[in-house]
């Protein structure tokens, strides 16, 4: 059976990962590959409803443990209804965030620990891990400056120390899962970062 490839783009808020996810999807399409471009939380109708709850509820309305499971619930639906069927028909999936966001933000930054959050996500991921996860690595101060002017969601409103802790979480993931999670220097022009992303992805084709 021909199966597609699954690539996730990760990074702290303002890292430029959404731009990079889109540029990557377009570059793959230009090569004649069917690409499903998606995001978390979200990617399915249920997931988008969960996104609204988890990101746009008033401050203090979502308990940290509930947050872990809301992101995981969105992910479970995403894997079952969108990602797995796409891969099965041979499409590539490019996802703007996946499980490593939960490991970095809820595991490292919120303090639940990477192991605990990985365990909480086991039924959601259900063995469907990305072939490659690229973390767009930028200093938190640069990222904060880049997104100034955009309205903050509940997680972004946590501030720079939280983003620093998530960035350290991503570095820990790259050390822990070196065959899957790769840091890409994101402190450059979008076109230069895109070239670095593409070089990593080409190794998968
Ligand atoms: P994102 O969609 O990247 O934000 P934007 O719409 O501004 O581009 O991500 C939304 C927020 O959700 C972001 O602050 C990271 C957070 N998040 C987690 O904390 N855990 C998760 O598992 C996921 C998927 C996202």
Nearest protein CA to atom 16 of ligand 1, as residue: 155
Cβ–ligand 1 distance for 57 under 6 Å, the answer no
Threshold 0.85, pTM exceeds? yes
pLDDT at 34: 97
Three-state DSSP class for 176?
Answer: helix
Q: Is 61 exposed, middle or buried (0-12, 13-18, 19+ CB in 10 A)?
A: exposed
- Output the CA 41–ligand 1 centroid distance in Å: 7
Cβ–ligand 1 distance for 112 under 6 Å, the answer no
- Nearest ligand 1 atom to alpha carbon 41: 24
What are the angstrom distances between the C-alpha of 186 and each of 24, 159, 192? Answer: 14, 20, 9
pLDDT digits (tens, 9 = 90+) for 20-29: 999 999 999 9
pLDDT at 2: 62
pLDDT digits (tens, 9 = 90+) for 19-52: 999 999 999 999 999 999 999 999 999 999 999 9
Cα separation of 201 and 205, whole Å?
A: 7
CA angle, corner 49, sides to 133 and 70, nearest 5? Answer: 60
pLDDT at 80: 98
| 148 against 158, higher pLDDT | 158
pLDDT at 179: 96
- Share above pLDDT 70 across residues of the chain, in percent, rounded to a whole number: 98
Q: Which helix (H) or strand (E) holds 123?
A: helix 122-125
pLDDT digits (tens, 9 = 90+) for 99-154: 999 999 999 999 999 999 999 999 999 999 999 999 999 998 888 888 766 678 88
What are the angstrom distances between the C-alpha of 175 and each of 172, 179, 182, 194? Answer: 5, 9, 9, 23
For residue 105 the two structure tokens come to 């933000």
| Of 96, 130, 126, 101, nearest in space to 204 by CA | 130
pLDDT at 1: 53
- Output the CA 1–ligand 1 centroid distance in Å: 33
Best mutation site among 56, 96, 101 for ligand 1 pocket (most ligand atoms within 8 Å of CB): 101
CA 92 centroid distance within chain = 16
pLDDT at 11: 98
Cα separation of 186 and 70, whole Å?
A: 29
What mean pLDDT is predicted for residues 67-77? 98
């Amino acid at each position: 059976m021909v199966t597609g490839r699954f690539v996730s783009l990760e990074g702290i808020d303002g890292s430029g990962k959404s731009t990079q996810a889109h540029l990557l999807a377009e570059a793959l399409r230009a090569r004649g590959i069917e690409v499903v471009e998606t995001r978390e939380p979200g990617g399915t109708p249920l997931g988008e409803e969960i996104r609204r709850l988890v990101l746009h509820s008033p401050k203090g309305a979502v308990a940290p443990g509930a947050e872990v499971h809301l992101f995981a619930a969105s992910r479970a639906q995403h894997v079952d209804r969108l990602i797995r069927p796409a891969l099965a028909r041979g499409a590539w999936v490019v996802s703007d965030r996946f499980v490593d966001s939960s490991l970095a933000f809820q595991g490292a930054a919120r303090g639940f620990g990477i192991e605990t959050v990985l365990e909480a996500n086991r039924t959601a991921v259900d063995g469907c891990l990305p072939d490659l996860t690229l973390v767009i690595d930028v200093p938190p101060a640069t990222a904060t400056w880049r997104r100034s002017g955009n309205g903050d969601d509940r997680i972004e409103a946590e501030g720079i120390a939280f983003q620093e802790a998530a960035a350290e979480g991503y570095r820990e993931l790259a050390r822990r899962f070196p065959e899957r999670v790769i840091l890409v220097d994101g402190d450059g022009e979008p076109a230069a970062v895109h070239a670095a992303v593409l070089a990593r992805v080409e190794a998968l084709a």
